[in-house]
Amino acid sequence: MLLDLDIRDRRVVIFGEPAAAVASARRFARAGARVRLVGTEPAPPAATPAGVAHVAQPAAGDVPALLRLLAPAWLVVTTGPASELGDRVRSLCGQLKIAHTHQSVGPVGPRGRVVLVGGGPGATRLLTLEACEALLDADVVFYDRLAPTADLARLAPGAELVDVGKLPYHHPTSQDRIQELIIERARRGQTVVRLKGGDPFVFGRGGEEILACRAAGVDVRVVPGVTSAVAVPAAAGIPVTHRGASRAFTVLSGHLPPSTAELTALAGLGGTLVILMGMASLTQTVTGLVAAGLSPDTPAAVVERGFSDSQRTTPGRLADLPGLVGRVGVTSPAVVVIGDVAAFAADQVGADPLTARLSLLPDPGR
Ligand code: SAH
């Protein structure tokens, strides 16, 4: 049974081993309670959240000291494994008629684990139920810039939240370091969520993280996510396949410009081409595709910041796309769609008159 209680400004006193007690303290502090953490050591545990008061634990037999701690509490929480102190606290709460609960939050046991979670293209509502469950269980979440971060504190109430945010060409935390961090935390017995934008296996380096965990003997599993490669075109009204228009779609990383062999294959394949991380190399890619035989009149579109309030679609002919993108000032993150299905984006044009007008202008650069 789940009870929804308003605990804002209520005094909550939490007992237990540091890892479990800190995770519980974080949950209550995020919900607005005034939290006092009764620690097993004289100093507060390293990860004690800001705003949580710490007090050293009295001996189980020191009833006056325990009463001083318990009397002002609205709720008393014991965490972790059973102990003499925990039993004494529960019995005193009974006598004082103070609400008491026991939480077995925190590390799941001596073996921690890593869950690689695909967070979808950035909107909380596109997280899967399994992703939400993994976040709810997490002790620590390492998240990227493109993951849905707006509601993380609510979705992962017991977790320390660590931004390993990747900006294009600027990785504050290197991939090797991220792998070290997730493995180190799992070895401490924590449940680690590695939250990524989209699907972990679509240009997400999820495979590398799986291999690193396996090599380190750490349990790891994957929760797939809604990939921007399909969802962001869809947000702009573009179906990546459409009967009679496209019976294949190819997803390409534009992180490096495609090789001549790739351009030739792509131009000859037909169907839809979806390019992620494609803004920096767009001119080279478009020029190469046209040189390889793709019609300059092929419909194309760039969709920026899919599923955000500032989502914008810039449609145009393939050959016009680089100039158009420069003129409207397209920025990352954006998905490029090339192929007949991109013409569906024209339906969206009415929503953005500037883009509509610009898309009708001839490119002065041509
Ligand atoms: N694993 C991710 C892709 C990571 S590569 C996935 O499956 O979606 C990062 C690229 O994804 C960005 O450069 C951009 O091309 C695209 N992208 C991700 N989220 C996006 C969004 N909300 N809007 C537009 N493009 C997005």
pLDDT tens, 130-178? 999 999 999 999 999 889 999 999 999 989 999 997 555 556 788 899 9
pLDDT at 320 > cutoff 70? yes
Beta strand 299-304 pairing with 334-338: antiparallel
> pLDDT value at position 105?
55
Q: Is the CB of 101 under 6 A from ligand 1?
A: no
Using CA atoms, how far apart are residues 105 and 362, in angstroms rounded to an integer? 62
Q: Is the CB of 197 under 6 A from ligand 1?
A: yes
- Enter the tokens of residue 135: 């976040």
The pLDDT of 309-327, averaged and rounded, is 96
Last residue in a domain, options 192, 226, 260 = 226
> pLDDT value at position 3?
67
Q: Is the CB of 119 under 6 A from ligand 1?
A: no
Residue 34 shares a structural domain with residue 91: yes
Last residue in a domain, options 75, 103, 131 = 103
Beta strand 312-317 pairing with 299-304: antiparallel
Residue 188 shares a structural domain with residue 251: no
Q: Is the CB of 26 under 6 A from ligand 1?
A: no
Question: Which of 274, 276, 302 best tests ligand 1's pocket when mutated (most atoms within 8 Å of CB)?
Answer: 276
Residue 365 lies in a domain: no
For residue 238, the domain's CATH number is 3.30.950.10
For the chain, the domain total comes to 3
Residue 118 shares a structural domain with residue 36: no
> pLDDT value at position 73?
94
Residue 175 shares a structural domain with residue 99: no
Query: Residue of the nearest CA to atom 19 in ligand 1?
Result: 121
Residue 133 CB contacts under 8 Å (≥ 6 apart), including other chains = none
CA 121 – ligand 1 centroid, Å: 6
Q: Is the CB of 224 under 6 A from ligand 1?
A: no
Return the C-alpha torsion angle 100, 104, 107, 108, nearest 10: 180
Q: Which domain covers residue 335, as residue numbers? A: 229-347
Residue 221 shares a structural domain with residue 297: no
pLDDT tens, 263-300? 999 999 999 999 999 999 999 999 999 999 999 999 99
Amino acid at 100: H
For residue 76, the domain's CATH number is 3.40.50.720
| Sheet of strand 113-118: strand arrangement | 160-163, 140-143, 191-196, 113-118, 219-223
Q: Is the CB of 281 under 6 A from ligand 1?
A: no
Query: Residue of the nearest CA to atom 5 in ligand 1?
Result: 203
Residue 86 shares a structural domain with residue 170: no
Residue 221 shares a structural domain with residue 312: no
Residue 360 lies in a domain: no
Residue 221 shares a structural domain with residue 254: no
Residue 352 lies in a domain: no
Query: Which positions are catalytic?
Result: 144, 166, 277
pLDDT at 223 > cutoff 90? yes
pLDDT at 107 > cutoff 50? no
Residue 356 lies in a domain: no
Residue 319 shares a structural domain with residue 267: yes
CA 278 – ligand 1 centroid, Å: 10
Residue 170 shares a structural domain with residue 250: no
Residue 46 shares a structural domain with residue 146: no
CA 248 – ligand 1 centroid, Å: 20
Residue 169 shares a structural domain with residue 256: no
What rounded mean pLDDT belongs to the chain? 89
CA 218 – ligand 1 centroid, Å: 28
